[in-house]
């Protein structure tokens, strides 16, 4: 009954790894060398057709890509872990709303910020496109900040998987000081998540290296 999660340090792997640690399920991680282009090679593309991370492989070999699909699958397989509030509850509606906000309005900007050349055909355009995505990234986070109930988690009902998504995503393309000043609720939520006993060691593993660089 071991889950296998593919990803890289500092990537969305941290979300799935932290959730598996919270649930106390057996899992192993497989490092994908994004800087070396391993994610774009045929072997990894057999798992994820676009070469993105993270990818989860279930104990029976079923492959799941995309963070929301992974979270919903884990929630369904381990309802006792309450990764998300129970089906039919108002809290679940709010959790799904902000989970999807993270997945559809925030996460796609990361590809533009990390790989602007995929969206522009000159160096000049690349700089403009990256700058615009980065500014949208900061604007959109303001909506997450306003939505946080402040317990310190998103929902007054308590911790859920969306908090982990927020705590991982808010580390990207954002100086900690800027986050603290401009997104005080996101910052407090992230610190609470990073300090959870099961999550803390995962977050240390996913912190930037001594040169301040992520693995991507």
Ligand X SMILES: N[C@@H](CCC(=O)N[C@@H](CS)C(=O)NCC(=O)O)C(=O)O
Site string for ligand X, 98-137 (x = CB under 6 A): -----x---x--xx---x----------------------
SS3 of residue 27 by DSSP: strand
Q: By CB under 6 A, is residue 12 in contact with ligand X?
A: yes
What torsion do the CA atoms of 58, 63, 67, 69 make, to the nearest 10 degrees? -90
Options 47-55, 93-101, 135-143, 152-160: segment touching ligand X (CB under 6 A): 47-55
Q: Which is nearer to ligand X, 118 or 143 (CB)?
A: 118
Count of residues near ligand X by CB under 6 A: 14
171 counts as binding ligand X under rule CB under 6 A: no
Among 5, 22, 39, 71, binds ligand X (CB under 6 A): 39
> How far apart are alpha carbons 213 and 164 in whole angstroms?
21
Which residue of the chain is nearest ligand X when measured via CB?
52
In the numeric block, which tokens belong to residue 33? 């060398």
Three-state DSSP at 30 gives strand
Contact by Cβ (8 Å): 34, 53: yes
Which residue in the set 18, 53, 161, 165 belongs to the binding site for ligand X (CB under 6 A)? Answer: 53
3-state DSSP assignment of residue 66: coil
Is 67 near ligand X (CB under 6 A)?
A: yes
CA distance 132 to 129: 5
- Check if the beta carbon of residue 55 is closer than 8 Å to that of residue 13: no
Q: Which of 52, 94, 130, 171 binds ligand X (CB under 6 A)?
A: 52
Q: Determine if 29 is a binding residue for ligand X (CB under 6 A).
A: no
- Contact call for residues 21 and 199 (beta carbons, < 8 A): yes
Considering only residues 27, 30, 57, 66, which one is a binding residue for ligand X as defined by CB under 6 A?
66
What does the binding site for ligand X look like in residue numbers (CB under 6 A)?
Answer: 11-12, 34, 39, 51-53, 66-67, 103, 107, 110-111, 115
């Amino acid at each position: 009954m071991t889950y296998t999660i593919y990803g890289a340090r500092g990537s969305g792997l941290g979300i799935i790894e932290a959730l598996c640690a919270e649930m106390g399920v057996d899992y192993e991680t497989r490092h994908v060398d994004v800087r070396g282009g391993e994610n774009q090679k045929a072997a990894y593309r057999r798992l994820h057709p676009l070469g993105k991370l993270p990818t989860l492989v279930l104990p029976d070999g079923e492959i799941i890509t995309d963070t929301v699909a992974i979270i919903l699958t884990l929630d369904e397989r381990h309802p006792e872990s309450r990764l998300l509030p129970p089906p039919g509850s108002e809290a679940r509606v709010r959790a799904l709303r902000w989970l999807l906000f993270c997945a559809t309005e925030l996460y796609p900007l990361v590809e533009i910020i990390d790989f602007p050349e995929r969206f522009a055909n000159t160096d000049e355009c690349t700089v403009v496109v990256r700058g615009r995505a980065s500014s949208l990234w900061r604007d959109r986070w303001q909506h997450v900040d306003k939505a946080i109930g402040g317990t310190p988690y998103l929902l007054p009902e308590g911790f859920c998987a969306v908090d982990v998504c927020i705590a991982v995503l808010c580390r990207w393309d954002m100086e900690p000081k800027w986050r603290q000043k401009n997104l005080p609720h996101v910052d407090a939520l992230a610190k609470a998540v990073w300090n959870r006993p099961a999550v803390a060691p995962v977050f240390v593993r996913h912190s930037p290296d001594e040169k301040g660089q992520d693995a991507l």
